[in-house]
């Protein structure tokens, strides 16, 4: 009898759980309904020179903000690789508000009390802080004041810095045992031998990072004119302007003057301009590793984010070659016909300067040479002859069909708005996206393939052979 009651109880619990899941999913669907592809973008500059891009959305009583700063790892001085990332991670670990010190714990408490979700990310191009908060006037005002203090007087506490460096050192050692990370690290180095894009964090560069270097980097690169703010949410321009004024006030410049002539800051060269991306001669690097499979990566610098005319044919070309999974040429030749790899793909990263195109796969160690040969022959044939008409139409249909998913939530809309803002894309970039894909011809794809896919520039890294 007792067992029957327990069974009934568990059935009821399971049924209620299912109902809650359904209702939660439905609520999420109602909250995050697909938006129209067209975004009404307003943009202006603050008095201090920061660029602002704003899209009003009333789907949720929330505001999503992306603060992008031209302070990515490409600005790390040689010998201080990892500096930009450490600055980003340390920024929300304590600051001064007037004469009062706000500790790391107090920073955390502020975000919890105001229900602010935040994240910090530092890439090669930029440092980014993303925020999501309620559109309540008190929260907006408090957050603006708080961030204004953070951007004016970060503490860069020595003890927290030591902790961050220790964690980074442990993570670095662990990553160098993984074949995938080892391959990518070496590939970037080979693709960009004379450019900061190719440099990676080392144990020595971590040791070289001091509080003085954090201050110097912050004061040189976290300035209002290098900040781009993207906003999507249920808020008005009138509410935004005081928030933005406090956020981008730029009052920390006086600290910059104090430290600029400090002899300690002269140990490393902080660049004002970056070198152009060059195309190194093709090379194959093989690194022994106890992994059961070989990890093969092929790549070369290709396109910068602002090269709009070539980007759309490039989207189509990548989709056909290896960006669409099953049905792509690489998957057909390498996996389906020969069974050489479970997964093979292609992709690319669009950056301020020429970003890389990749091909990646894993294969058994005994089949490494054959798999590499098949990939190279598939790529060579595709570059020489381009796609057929069926492949072209399938690719365009697939890309256009997935476009709505790029804008089906405020967060995704913010991500796309942030790209437009930071990389200075046309304001109608998203409005014209579908039409531009639809207009791509076989000749367009063949043109970008022959222009950018030069075998003499392709770098190959094999881990595990």
- DSSP bridge pairs for 359: 298, 346
CA atoms of 108 and 383, how far apart (whole Å): 52
pLDDT tens for each residue of 325-340: 888 999 999 999 999 9
Helices 179-191, 158-175: crossing angle, 10 deg rounding: 100
Q: Pairing between strand 62-69 and 227-233?
A: antiparallel
- Domain regions of the chain by residue span: 42-261, 283-463
Nearest to 417 by CA among 101, 146, 52: 52
Mean pLDDT of 417-443: 97
pLDDT band at residue 201 under the 50/70/90 scheme = very high
% of residues, the chain, pLDDT over 70: 88
Task: Provide CB contacts within 8 A for 451, sequence distance 6+.
Answer: 310
User: Using an 8 Å Cβ cutoff, are 296 and 360 in contact?
Assistant: yes
Sequence-distant contacts of 137-145: CB under 8 A, at least 24 apart: 137/239, 139/114, 139/115, 140/63, 140/235, 140/239, 140/243, 141/242, 141/243, 142/110, 142/114, 143/114, 143/116, 143/243, 144/242, 144/243, 144/244, 144/245, 144/246, 144/247, 145/246
User: Using an 8 Å Cβ cutoff, are 117 and 108 in contact?
Assistant: no
283-463: what CATH class?
A: alpha beta
The pLDDT assigned to 247 comes to 86
Q: How far lies 400's CA from each of 165, 226, 319, 346, 396, in Å?
A: 44, 34, 12, 19, 6
The pLDDT assigned to 250 comes to 56
Q: Same CATH topology for 42-261 and 283-463?
A: yes
Helix/strand/coil for 224: helix
The tokens for 104 are 């790391």
CATH of 42-261, picked from 3.30.830.10, 1.10.3720.10, 3.40.30.10, 3.40.50.1100, is 3.30.830.10
Predicted confidence (pLDDT) at residue 90 exceeds the cutoff of 90: yes
pLDDT band at residue 264 under the 50/70/90 scheme = low
pLDDT tens for each residue of 160-182: 999 999 999 999 999 999 999 99
Identify which has the larger pLDDT, 28 or 268. 268
User: Using an 8 Å Cβ cutoff, are 106 and 98 in contact?
Assistant: no
Give backbone dihedrals phi and psi of 69, rounded to 5 degrees, phi first.
Answer: -125, 135
Reduced DSSP (H G I as helix, E B as strand, rest coil) percent helix, strand, coil of the chain, to 5: 50, 20, 30
CA atoms of 225 and 50, how far apart (whole Å): 5
Q: Residue 204 is inside which H or E element, if any?
A: helix 203-208
pLDDT band at residue 236 under the 50/70/90 scheme = very high
Mean pLDDT of 107-120: 97
Q: Count, in order, helices (H) and strands (E) of the chain.
A: 17, 13
The pLDDT assigned to 375 comes to 98
Predicted confidence (pLDDT) at residue 97 exceeds the cutoff of 90: yes
Task: Tell me the pLDDT of the chain averaged across its residues.
Answer: 89
User: Using an 8 Å Cβ cutoff, are 88 and 120 in contact?
Assistant: yes
Radius of gyration of the chain (CA): 25
Task: Provide CB contacts within 8 A for 427, sequence distance 6+.
Answer: 41, 43, 420
pLDDT tens for each residue of 268-319: 889 899 999 999 999 999 999 999 999 999 999 999 999 999 999 999 999 9
pLDDT tens for each residue of 347-400: 999 999 999 999 999 999 999 999 999 999 999 999 999 999 999 999 999 999
pLDDT band at residue 246 under the 50/70/90 scheme = confident
pLDDT band at residue 11 under the 50/70/90 scheme = very low
Predicted confidence (pLDDT) at residue 8 exceeds the cutoff of 70: no
């Amino acid at each position: 009898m007792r067992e029957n009651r327990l069974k009934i109880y568990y059935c009821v619990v399971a049924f209620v759980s299912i109902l809650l899941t359904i209702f939660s999913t439905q609520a999420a669907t109602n909250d995050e309904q697909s938006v129209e592809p067209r975004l009404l973008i307003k943009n202006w500059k603050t008095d201090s020179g920061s660029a602002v891009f704003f899209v009003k959305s009333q789907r949720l009583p929330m505001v999503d903000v992306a603060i992008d700063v031209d302070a990515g790892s490409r600005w790390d001085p040689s010998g201080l690789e990892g500096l930009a990332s450490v600055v980003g991670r340390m920024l929300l670990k304590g600051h001064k508000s007037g004469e009062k010190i706000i500790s790391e714990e107090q920073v955390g408490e502020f975000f919890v009390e105001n229900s602010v979700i935040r994240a910090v990310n530092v890439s090669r191009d930029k440092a980014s802080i993303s925020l999501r908060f309620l559109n309540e006037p008190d929260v907006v005002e408090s957050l603006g004041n708080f961030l204004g203090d953070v951007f004016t007087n970060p503490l860069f506490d020595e003890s927290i810095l030591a902790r961050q460096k220790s964690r980074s050192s442990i993570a670095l050692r662990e990553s160098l045992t993984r074949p995938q990370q080892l391959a990518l690290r070496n590939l970037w180095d080979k693709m960009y031998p004379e450019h900061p894009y190719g440099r990676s964090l080392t144990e020595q560069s971590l040791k070289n990072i001091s509080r003085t270097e954090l201050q110097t980097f912050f004061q040189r690169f976290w300035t209002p004119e290098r900040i781009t703010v993207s906003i999507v949410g249920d808020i008005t321009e009138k509410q935004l302007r005081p928030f933005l004024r406090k956020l981008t006030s730029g009052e920390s410049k006086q600290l910059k003057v104090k430290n600029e002539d400090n002899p300690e800051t002269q140990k490393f060269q902080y660049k004002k301009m970056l070198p152009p991306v060059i195309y190194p001669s093709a090379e194959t690097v093989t690194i022994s590793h106890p992994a059961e499979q070989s990890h093969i990566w092929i790549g070369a610098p290709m396109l910068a984010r602002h090269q709009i005319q070539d980007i759309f044919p490039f989207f189509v070309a990548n989709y056909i070659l290896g960006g669409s999974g099953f049905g792509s040429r690489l998957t057909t030749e390498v996996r389906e016909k020969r069974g050489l790899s479970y997964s093979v793909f292609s992709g690319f990263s669009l950056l301020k300067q020429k970003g890389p195109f990749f091909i990646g796969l894993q294969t058994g160690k005994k089949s490494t040479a054959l798999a590499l040969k098949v990939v190279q022959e598939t790529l060579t044939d595709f570059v020489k002859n381009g796609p057929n008409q069926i492949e072209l139409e399938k690719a365009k249909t697939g890309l256009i069909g997935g476009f709505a998913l790029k804008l089906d939530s405020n967060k995704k809309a913010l991500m796309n708005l942030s790209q437009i803002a930071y990389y200075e894309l046309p304001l109608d970039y998203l409005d014209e996206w579908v039409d531009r894909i639809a207009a791509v011809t076989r000749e367009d794809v063949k043109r970008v393939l022959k222009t950018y896919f030069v075998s003499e520039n392709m770098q190959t890294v094999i881990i595990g052979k």
